[in-house]
């Protein structure tokens, strides 16, 4: 299995391949190879910054001689006018790495900003419920997007299909019920020597009773009302973790959190996010001032 670093390296290589192709002819035709310069990353919208380390990797993977000086770290609250970093090197390298770096940082920062908004609202409401992401991520960018969720104060659900067992409605229906699904999952883990958490989705009170009787690490209440969620949490009585899912939004999440669930998962954190506005400008072009 590929490591996180290997997956990110492949993403960067593929991104350069699809963007540059056989050459950045705009840059090559007008910028001498020996020309040196400096650019600064300027924040243009308030939010939570995320992606510094992958930005450094983008620069250094393209041109190891590029020099990056950071002034703001991941997780910092940023506002228009803040400068995150300055980058020195060949102007050709600065221009060819600009778009990929911005695409990644804008998306990661947008995810971190949205996650922070959700998690802070749950805290302000006096709940202990944690925000979870899902597998509804951009193909190839899952590791970066899930890292952005953590930077924003949320928690990762499973990374993929390999690091947790999540028995959803289709698995349960194909197995013939919750009892069969959970028992088969436990037997599979035993036979394969896997120490995987088992989560089971339930759609009604019968399935909830079966899940509790069979035993699992977490129960997901699928499309329960806040009132039913409160009743379900009371029935579970801390015998396992609890999670709410299914059509819950920022505007509707507080009643679910106040019902006492441990987690609420939101696909919107990664599939419907707006990138944070920022730009990468030549030093001095906009009279930039570094704000430490």
Active site residues: 99, 136, 168, 201, 222
d(CA 88, CA 67) in angstroms, rounded, equals: 5
Cα dist from 25 to 29, 87, 92, whole Å: 6, 22, 11
d(CA 143, CA 162) in angstroms, rounded, equals: 14
d(CA 28, CA 92) in angstroms, rounded, equals: 7
d(CA 167, CA 182) in angstroms, rounded, equals: 8
Instruction: Write out the H or E segment, with its range, that includes residue 69.
Output: strand 67-70
| N-to-C CA span, the chain | 40
Count Cα neighbours of 225 within 13 Å in the Cβ-side half-sphere.
2
Number of other residues whose CB lies within 10 A of the CB of residue 274:
13
Q: Are 52 and 74 in contact (CB under 8 A)?
A: yes
Residue 48 — φ and ψ, nearest 5°? -110, 125
Residue 245 corresponds to which tokens in the numbers above?
């899912």
Residue 40 — φ and ψ, nearest 5°? -125, 140
- Contact residues for 251 (Cβ-Cβ < 8 A; gap 6+): none
Residue 71 corresponds to which tokens in the numbers above?
């002034």
């Amino acid at each position: 299995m590929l490591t996180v670093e290997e997956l990110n390296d492949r993403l960067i290589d593929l991104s350069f391949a699809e963007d540059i192709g056989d050459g950045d002819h705009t840059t090559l035709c007008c910028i001498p190879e020996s020309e040196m310069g400096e650019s600064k990353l300027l924040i243009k919208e308030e939010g939570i910054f995320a992606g510094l380390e992958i930005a450094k990797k983008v620069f250094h993977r393209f041109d190891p001689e590029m020099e990056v000086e950071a002034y703001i770290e991941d997780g910092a609250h940023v506002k228009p006018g803040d400068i995150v970093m300055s980058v020195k090197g060949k102007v050709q390298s600065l221009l060819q790495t600009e778009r990929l770096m911005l695409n990644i940082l804008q998306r990661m920062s947008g995810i971190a900003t949205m996650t922070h908004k959700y998690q802070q609202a749950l805290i302000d409401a006096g709940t202990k419920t944690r925000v979870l992401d899902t597998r509804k991520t951009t193909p190839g960018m899952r590791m970066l997007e899930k890292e952005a969720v953590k930077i924003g104060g949320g928690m990762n659900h499973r990374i993929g299909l390999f690091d947790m067992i999540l028995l959803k409605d289709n698995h349960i229906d194909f197995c013939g019920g919750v009892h069969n699904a959970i028992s088969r999952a436990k037997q599979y883990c035993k036979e394969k020597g896997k120490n995987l958490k088992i989560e089971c989705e339930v759609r009604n009170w019968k399935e909830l009773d079966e899940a509790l009787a069979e035993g699992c690490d977490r129960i997901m209440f699928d499309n329960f009302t806040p009132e039913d969620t409160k009743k379900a949490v009371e029935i579970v009585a801390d015998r396992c973790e609890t999670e709410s899912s299914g059509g819950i939004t920022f505007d509707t999440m507080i009643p679910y959190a106040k019902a006492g669930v441990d987690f609420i998962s939101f696909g919107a954190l990664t599939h419907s996010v707006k990138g944070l506005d920022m730009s990468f400008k030549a030093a001095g072009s906009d009279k930039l001032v570094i704000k430490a």
